[in-house]
Every structure is written in C-alpha cells, then in structure tokens.
C-alpha cells in the first residue's frame, strides 16, 4: 500500500518514512500543498498523512481542495494544532482521522490500519465497522445481523462514531458533528445518548476514555476493562518516541 506524507519538516518526514517503510508501507514524501494536490489524485494512493503547517497552503486548504476535486482517499491529519475546534474543523472538511503532535508512533500505525480497513466493500450509502452496519438510505442499523431501532439523535451519534472508528472523540466534537450544537459544559446530552446506544448495541461497543471522551470499538484487538470502562490493548505496547512539530 502506498502512503503520501505531506510534511515540510524534514526531520519529521524522515522519521515517518523510515518507520512506515519498516512496517511494509510504500511511502512518498511531499513537501508542500500544491504538490500534494497533484499527487493525491493518483489512484494508487491508499492514504494521505497531512500536516497543516505547510509553507505554501494551509493543510486545511489542501484537504478542502482534495474533496472538491472528488478525491475519496482517506486523510489522516497529523498536526500540532490539537485544540478541539481545530479537530472539529478538520473532520468537518473531510478528514477521516486527526492525530495531534507530539504523537506515539504505535498509535499512528493503529490509526493508519483502522483507516485502511475496507469500508468501501459495503454498498453505496452503507457504512460498516466490524459487526456494525449502518444503512444511510433506510436509516437502519444492524449489529451481528440483529436490527437495532434507533431514534434520530441516536442514529446521528452512531454515524459519527462509525465515520471515525478507533478515534477518541470529545463531547464537544460529538455535539458538533452529530447534532450541530455548540458545546455547553453543563450538558450531559452526549453521555445520555452514549448510554442509549450502549443499551441497544451492547455495552462494550463504545468505550470511555477518561478525561478525553468516547471511542468506538472497531475490531477484536481491544477489550473493555470492566473495572474502569476504558479500552485497554490486550498487549502492552513498547515505549515509542514522541515528536513535536507544526
């Protein structure tokens, strides 16, 4: 699989290239936004890792330009702009995932694998993550072949999770993306509707990440820790370097 790394800082790009190639990926490094807009239309590209602090165009302009040109290639934004409003804006413009710098390389690999899983195997208007299938046309949801009757708000919230499997989403992001609402620190609306989804889909489907938000379980590699409600990997990951950058 071929990945494009859009990154102007040589140190970061070199680290990504070496690490990704060591894990079997073909990697092309692109230094600026204009070149990225040309290269991402290549049908051989499987995923784009996009920095936002580029020397010519803002990375969000690149992202918007890709989607306007009809590119459906998955885009993982990798940026030091880690505020919630930055992440919401990137996701709303068409990013498939968003990882803030500094980052753990093992987490980057996990997110790449999640975004490369073939959701396109489903028919148009159908989203599928693991055993969860969402029919956008009929607004129907099944899990393990079992039909789940969801309210309009429950359906909208689940669609956000399915669109971003394995990604930790804050309450503010969920409010904005699911229902177009501004964040109100006094509301527990997201928590209430996550509870509704858990009761209908099964408790382990959506995990709580303490102090951060919620994450959809995308495959069997993660399991729910019943003692604290946090998703925990089955094996302990080795220590990995962190990088700061744009």
Average pLDDT estimate for 149-177: 89
Res 107 pLDDT > 80? yes
Which pLDDT score, from 0 to 100, does residue 90 have?
Answer: 85
Q: Does the model's pTM come out above 0.75?
A: no
Q: How many domains does the chain have?
A: 2
DSSP 43-98: TTEEEEEE-SB-SSSBHHHHHHHHHHTT----EEEEES--SHHHHHHHHHTT-SEE
Say how many Å lie between the first and final Cα of the chain, rounded.
26
Condensed to tens digits (0 to 9), the pLDDT of residues 195-215 reads 999 999 988 889 998 888 999
Is the domain of 138 the same as that of 202?
A: yes
List of residues 6+ apart from 172 with CB closer than 8 A? 84, 88, 183
Res 12 pLDDT > 90? yes
Domain that holds residue 154: 119-218
Condensed to tens digits (0 to 9), the pLDDT of residues 110-141 reads 889 888 875 544 456 788 887 888 888 888 89
Is the domain of 98 the same as that of 165?
A: no
CA distance 31 to 127: 33
Q: Which two tokens stand for residue 137?
A: 């046309």
| pLDDT band for position 182 (cuts 50, 70, 90) | confident
Residue 11 within a domain: yes
Res 50 pLDDT > 80? yes
| pLDDT band for position 31 (cuts 50, 70, 90) | very high
Residue 148: which CATH number? 1.10.10.10
Which pLDDT score, from 0 to 100, does residue 218 have?
Answer: 60
Which pLDDT score, from 0 to 100, does residue 191 have?
Answer: 93
Specify the 3-state DSSP secondary structure of 199: helix
Is the domain of 26 the same as that of 110?
A: yes
Is the domain of 96 the same as that of 142?
A: no
Neighbours of 130 (CB within 10 A): 16
CA distance 72 to 144: 28
Condensed to tens digits (0 to 9), the pLDDT of residues 219-246 reads 423 333 333 333 333 222 333 333 434 4
Exposed/middle/buried for residue 149 (C-beta within 10 Å: 0-12, 13-18, 19+): exposed
Looking at per-residue pLDDT, the higher value among 184 and 226 belongs to: 184
Looking at per-residue pLDDT, the higher value among 227 and 91 belongs to: 91
List of residues 6+ apart from 206 with CB closer than 8 A? 161, 194, 197, 198, 214, 215, 216, 217
Contact 239, 3 (CB under 8 A): no
Average pLDDT estimate for 6-23: 93
Looking at per-residue pLDDT, the higher value among 32 and 69 belongs to: 32
Is the domain of 14 the same as that of 31?
A: yes
């Amino acid at each position: 699989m071929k990945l494009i790394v859009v990154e102007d800082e040589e140190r970061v790009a070199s680290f990504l290239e070496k690490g990704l190639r060591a894990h079997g990926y073909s990697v092309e490094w692109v230094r600026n936004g204009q070149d990225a807009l040309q290269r991402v239309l290549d049908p051989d590209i499987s995923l784009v890792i996009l920095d936002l602090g580029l020397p010519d165009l803002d990375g969000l302009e690149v992202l918007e330009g890709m989607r306007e040109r009809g590119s459906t290639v998955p885009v993982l934004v990798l940026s030091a702009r880690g505020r919630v409003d930055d992440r919401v804006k990137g996701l709303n413009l068409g990013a498939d995932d968003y990882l803030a710098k500094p980052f753990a390389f093992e987490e980057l690999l996990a997110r790449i694998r999640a975004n490369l899983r073939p959701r396109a195997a489903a028919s148009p208007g159908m989203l599928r993550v693991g055993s969860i299938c969402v029919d956008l046309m009929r607004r129907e949801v099944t899990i393990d072949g079992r039909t789940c009757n969801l309210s309009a708000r429950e359906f909208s919230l689940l669609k956000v999770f399915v669109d971003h499997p394995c990604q930790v989403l804050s309450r503010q992001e969920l409010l904005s993306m699911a229902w177009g609402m501004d964040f109100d620190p006094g509301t527990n609306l997201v928590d209430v509707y996550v509870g509704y989804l858990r009761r209908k889909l099964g408790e382990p489907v959506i995990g709580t990440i303490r102090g951060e938000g919620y994450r959809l379980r995308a495959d069997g590699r993660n399991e729910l820790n019943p003692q604290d409600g946090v998703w925990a990997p089955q094996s302990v990951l080795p220590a990995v370097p962190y990088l700061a950058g744009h």
